[in-house]
Every structure is written in C-alpha cells, then in structure tokens.
Amino acid sequence: MEIPVVDFGAGSLNKKHVTDDELQKLGEELKTAFSEIGFVFLKNFGISEEEVQRVMDINKKFFLQPEELKQPFSIKTFSQNPNHGWVCLQAERLNPRRPGDLKEAFNVSLLRPDITWPSSGGLQDFQEVQCSFFQRCKELSLRVLRVIAIALDFHPDVFLNTHRLIGTEENGTTLRSLFYPPVKSETVKEGQLRCGEHSDYGSITLLFQNSEGLQVCTRSGEFISAPVIPGTVLINIADLMQRWTSDKLVSVVHRVLLPSVGDSSTRQSLAFFVHPDDEAVITCCDGSNKYPPVTAGEYLLQRLKAGYGSS
Ligand SMILES: O=C(O)CCC(=O)C(=O)O
Ligand SMILES: [Fe+2]
C-alpha cells in the first residue's frame, strides 16, 4: 500500500477563484485516500519549494543557536497561549510509553505583533517568514476543507464556518517547525524515537518534510514509509475530523524513526496543525452519537496535556 499523490491543480492557490464543480473530481480522489489511508500527497497546490525552503532555513538558524538564546522563547513563557514558542529536546512524548522524543520544535500559535520574536543573530526576518507562511498554509487548508466537504456531500462551507478564526487567539491552529538533531546512538534510550506513535488532534494537518523517517500505520497494522517527494505537501486527517465525520475519514497513527546507526544527518519538517475555532462544538455529522460532543478548544487542551511529560 502506498500514499497516493493527487494533482491539486484545480484547487491551486495560484487560482484566485475556484468553482465547486472544479473541486468535485478532486473531492473523489481525496475522499478515497482519506477514508482508506488517512494521508495523501498533493502536488501543484500553489506554494513553491522556494517558499518552503525559506521557512526551513530560518528555523534551522534558530535551532542551531546555543540553548541560552532559545530559552527566552520557551513554550510556557507566553502567558497568552500555552502552546506558543520553543519546545526543547525530549520535552514531549507523543507516545507516553516511550522516552522523550528526540526533536525540538518552534510553535507559532500567536500571531500578535506585541509578543517577542527571535530577531538577533540573523533572525531579523523570523517573524515575517513564519507569519507569512502561516497565512499561506491557512489559505491552502481552507481550500482542502472545502474539497472535503464537497466530497462528503455536505454543504461546501460546513467546515469553513467553524474555521473562521485561524490565526487569532480563539483558534488553536499552529505552525510547528520541527528540528531533529543528529542522533548519537550511544546516548539513545531504549525505545526512543524521533517522534513517538500518535495521531494528530485537530481537523487536518499539512506537512512539509526534507528527509525520510516518517512512517504511517496502515489498516492491517503495519507501518509504511512516507517518502520525501519534492514539490508535494502531505496532508492527513486528524482526530477531530474523524469524530466529526463519524469515522468516514480516518485519523491514522504515525511516527518518526531514528536514522540508521552511523547516519548523523538532521531532519526538518513543517507541520501546520489545523484546528476548528475553540468554541466550535464537534458533533458527528451523520447525527449519530458515536462520539460525545466536545468543543475544539477543550479537546485541544486535554490532548496537549497528555503529550507532555518528563522522560
Ligand atoms: O516530523 C514529521 O514528519 C511528523 C511530525 C508529527 O507527526 C507531529 O509533530 O505531529
Ligand atoms: Fe503528527
């Protein structure tokens, strides 16, 4: 089984306007992928490789700084949002049965101009690069959400109506830049991974990655590798979307493996975790009560709490 590659040209951000008719065929392809595998690669979606590289480069500069220069931006120092800022190595265990993940992250959840952003040491463009990429990912996400609604024969705006506040304090959507430093095999703990097995929390996730390591669990329970395909974005269904669609679309467990012994390369990825507005009540679209109603804000807080822990 392989993750399919879908040509998103009909819905590309390079087109200012797209009609629902144009999105219909795309919808069929996405529905098949999201109901069988939960993941799909899109090509021709309108964000260039250069744009993505610019974001990767400036984040790498941030991560390669000494710890004391990153510490002031540590997550939890932003009182307005518990999910904004730098996450140090091994701080998270996305699979609580494993030691801390061998990754660092910088979460952009707050776009307010009055917060402190990294700016010294060649990082004067950090805020601008992050915020503009956030907006580009937001636009693409809204297109994808529309396609999903059309594919499921829902009102085309059904998901858009509950994702109106992306980029404000009343919506948990986050642009997370991840950096996986070189791994020294002699210090790795038993069972430790770059990122433990988990499913994502929100509605959908967009992922740009620059090297191998990501694996996705199939229905039969085996993990398959998600290759790096230049010029594509990987999109997956997250848990709230699975609840919402009453399991029609599936949120699938994934992980990032360690590199093989002796491979001292780094890995980078950019994940855009799309969340419904905090106040949105997520109930099963088919009217069933397979999952109890929950507000998106409450659900995100519960899941974030479960993902942290000392190693
Ligand atoms: O880095 C990756 O490729 C995936 C990371 C991931 O799955 C996550 O942070 O939720
Ligand atoms: Fe994930």
- Domain residue limits, the chain: 5-307
Q: Is 254 in the pocket of ligand 1 (CB under 6 A)?
A: yes
Task: Tell me what pLDDT residue 310 has.
Answer: 39
Residue 152: per-residue pLDDT:
95
Q: Is the CB of 105 under 6 A from ligand 1?
A: no
| Cα 173 from Cα 273, distance rounded (Å) | 6
pTM score over 0.90: yes
Q: Confidence class of residue 114 from pLDDT cuts 50, 70 and 90? A: confident
User: How far is it, in rounded angstroms, from Cα 157 to Cα 180?
Assistant: 37
Give CA–CA dist 143/18, Å, rounded. 9
Any ligand 1 atom below 6 A from CB of 269: yes
Task: Give residue-wise pLDDT tens across range 170-223.
Answer: 999 999 999 999 999 899 999 999 999 999 999 999 999 999 999 999 989 999
Does the interface ipTM go beyond 0.90? yes
**Mind spelling out the 3-state secondary structure of 107-176?**
EECCCCCCCCCCCCCCCCCHHHHHHHHHHHHHHHHHHHHHHHHHHCCCCCCCCHHHCCCCCCCCECCEEE
Q: 5-307, superfamily in CATH?
A: B-lactam Antibiotic, Isopenicillin N Synthase; Chain (2.60.120.330)
Give, for ligand 1, the residue of 225, 269, 270, 273 to mutate: max count of ligand atoms closer than 8 Å to Cβ: 269
For the CA of 103, the closest atom of ligand 1 is 1
Kindly state the percentage of the chain with pLDDT values over 70: 98
